[in-house]
């Protein structure tokens, strides 16, 4: 399994320079920050719901049909907040067109080591990543599952592989089948609660 963080970025005209300042600004100006998403009910929408519910703040969600228009409006200031992929936002951050405030995983990103996490600043326990894992059909014999797991863990530890993950901002995780199962169950429970609490409707 591999995990990759999202980046909390804002338009540079927004008068905040840290994630703490963003939350304080949102608290003092409820609903005035426009938070962009590539679609209602997607992971970036849910990530915002988690952050702002955990910090008792309110933003206005602006839903788009894709990420390309988000960046145009974000840099223009029509929307102010977004949770972006490292590949999507890095160029804008380096060019000074967007301001990076935090990463969403519980551990800091090696690509942005000086950028704090949401967990360590404003919302303890916040740990969000886009992740990839390998599954097998239900009923696959446990011996085969174990053998496949051992092979994938060995591959994940190959320096060239782990370095490739790291260059993209990802973390290679060599977990057991049991640990991966618990992770999926925890993710399902977490996001289900967020969806129900916010009464989120998914787009077709």
pTM score: 0.84
- Specify which of 75-84, 144-153, 161-170 reaches the highest per-range mean pLDDT: 75-84
Q: What is the mean pLDDT of residues 122-149?
A: 90
Measured distance CA(138)–CA(123) in Å, rounded: 36
DSSP per-residue string spanning 93-125? HHTTSEEEEEESSSS--SSSTTSPBHHHHT-TT
Band (pLDDT 50/70/90 cuts) for residue 202 is: low
Q: Is the pLDDT of residue 22 over 90?
A: yes
Measured distance CA(204)–CA(179) in Å, rounded: 32
pLDDT of residue 104: 96
pLDDT of residue 164: 73
Q: Is the pLDDT of residue 184 over 90?
A: no
Half-sphere exposure in the Cβ direction for 61 (13 Å, CA): 21
Kindly indicate whether the domain formed by 2-129+191-198 is annotated with CATH number 3.40.190.10: yes
Q: What is the mean pLDDT of residues 178-186?
A: 87
Enumerate the CATH 3.40.190.10 domain ranges in the chain, comma separated.
2-129+191-198
Q: Is the pLDDT of residue 140 over 90?
A: yes
Measured distance CA(74)–CA(4) in Å, rounded: 22
Measured distance CA(61)–CA(196) in Å, rounded: 17
Instruction: Provide φ and ψ at 120, rounded to 5°.
Output: -85, -5
Band (pLDDT 50/70/90 cuts) for residue 197 is: confident
Q: What is the mean pLDDT of residues 13-30?
A: 98
């Amino acid at each position: 399994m591999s995990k990759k963080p999202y980046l909390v970025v804002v338009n540079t005209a927004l008068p905040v320079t840290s994630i703490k300042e963003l939350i304080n600004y949102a608290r003092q100006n409820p609903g005035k920050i426009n938070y962009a998403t590539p679609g209602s009910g997607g992971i970036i929408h849910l990530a915002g719901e988690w952050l702002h519910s955990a910090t008792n703040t309110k933003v206005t969600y602006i839903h788009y049909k894709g990420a390309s228009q988000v960046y145009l409006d974000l840099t223009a200031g029509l929307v102010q907040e977004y949770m972006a992929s490292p590949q999507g936002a890095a160029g804008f951050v380096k060019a000074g067109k967007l301001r990076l405030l935090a990463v969403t995983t519980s551990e800091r990103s090696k690509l942005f080591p000086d950028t704090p996490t949401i967990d360590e600043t404003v919302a303890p326990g916040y740990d969000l990543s886009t992740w990839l894992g390998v599954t097998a059909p239900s009923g696959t014999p446990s011996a085969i599952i174990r053998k496949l797991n051992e092979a994938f863990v060995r591959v994940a530890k190959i320096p060239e592989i782990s370095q490739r993950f790291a260059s993209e901002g990802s973390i290679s995780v060599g977990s057991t089948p049991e640990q991966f199962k618990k992770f999926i169950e925890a993710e399902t429970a977490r996001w289900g609660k967020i969806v129900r609490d916010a009464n989120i409707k998914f787009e077709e």
